[in-house]
Amino acid sequence: MTRLASSDIATVVEWLDALDRSLVDATGATLTEIAQYAVGEAVDFHHVKNSVVPITAGQGIIGGFSQTVAGILRHMGVDAFVTSRTDVGGLYEGRMNSSCQFAADDDTFFAVNLENNQVSENGYATGLGFAAALDLAAKGVENKPVLVAGAGPVGLTAADYFASKGAIVTLYDIDASKLEDRPYETTTSIAGRKFSLVLEATTAENVITKDVLTPNAIVSAPGVPLGVEAKLAQELTDSNRLIHNPLELGTAVMMADVLRKQSVYVRISMGATVVEPCMI
C-alpha cells in the first residue's frame, strides 16, 4: 500500500465541492451518495461526532493527513475533529468525546464506531467505493466485461464487488502468485486486449495506456500514483471518464460503512460475498 505524502492531499479539502461536481458528471452521484450506494444504505451522517487521531508510529505524522480526513468527513455532514493528543492519548480523548474514530499508521487506516462496534478499513473501503462509482458511471455492470488491474486488497475487493453484480471480471496482475485460486479470469498480461470498463488499483505508473481501452472507456482509479498514462488521463478527465482521488472516496465509504448496523467490511470478513447497493 502506498504511503500518502502531504503533497498528495494538500488541496483535497478546498477542492471537495469541485470533486462533487466532477463525480456527478462522471457517475450521477456525489461523494456522499456514492459512499451510501457502496454500502447499500442511505446512512445519515448528520448526527455523528467523529474524532481523527494522529498516529506517530512508524514513519510518523503526515502533515495535514488527519485534518484532511476530518475535512472530508465534515463535507459529508459529520461533526469531525482532530484530537489534540496523538496515539493512545488521542484514542482516549476521542473515546471520551466522539462516537466514531479514524486512525492510520503506515499500513492500516481504520474506522470504528464505538457505539455499535462496527469497523471498516481503508483498502477494502476504497475498493468498494471505486467499484461502486464505476458501476454507477457504467449504469450497471451486469454481463459487461470489467478489467481489474492490481490484485491487492483494493483490487480484490473491487473484483468481488463486480462479480457479485454479474460482471465478467478479468483480474490482471504482473505477480502470478496473487492470481492463484481467484474465481474469475486472471492474466499477467493485458497486451493486445481492449476494455471499456477498468478499475486501476495498482501502485505503478503507466499500467493503463490507450491501446488497452475502447474509445469510450471509463476508468475508476484509486491507485496512488495514478496508473493511467498522463496524456490519456487528461483526455479521460476532459470527457468525465476518469474517477480518481487519493483519499476522499475511501474515507467516505469507511464512514458510511461503520454507520451501518453491521458494516459490510465485518460481514465480508465473516464470509458474506454479496454487496447490495441501495438506490440513491
Give the bridge partners for 243, in sequence order.
220
- Secondary structure, 3-state, 217-230: EEEECCCCCCCECH
Q: How far apart are CA 197 and CA 241, in angstroms?
A: 10
Q: Between 145 and 150, name the residue whose CB sits nearer to ligand 2YH.
A: 150
CB of 255 to ligand 2YH, least distance (A): 14
Q: Which residue, 25, 252, 261, is CA-closest to 128?
A: 252
Stretch that binds ligand 2YH, among 98-106, 111-119, 174-182, 206-214 (CB under 6 A): 98-106
Contact 61, 86 (CB under 8 A): yes
156 near ligand 2YH, rule: CB under 6 A: no
In the list 38, 62, 158, 217, the residue contacting ligand 2YH (rule: CB under 6 A) is 62
**The binder of ligand 2YH chosen from 65, 110, 162, 195 (CB under 6 A):** 65
Q: Which is nearer to ligand 2YH, 105 or 235 (CB)?
A: 105
Q: Which stretch binds ligand 2YH (CB under 6 A): 29-37, 58-66, 89-97, 161-169?
A: 58-66
Q: Please name the residues in contact with 238: beta carbons below 8 A apart, sequence gap of 6 or more.
A: none
Query: What are the DSSP E strand ranges found in 18-150?
Result: 49-53, 79-82, 100-104, 109-113, 118-121, 145-149
Least separation in angstroms between residue 269's CB and ligand 2YH is 18
Choose the stretch contacting ligand 2YH; rule: CB under 6 A; options: 20-28, 60-68, 130-138, 177-185: 60-68
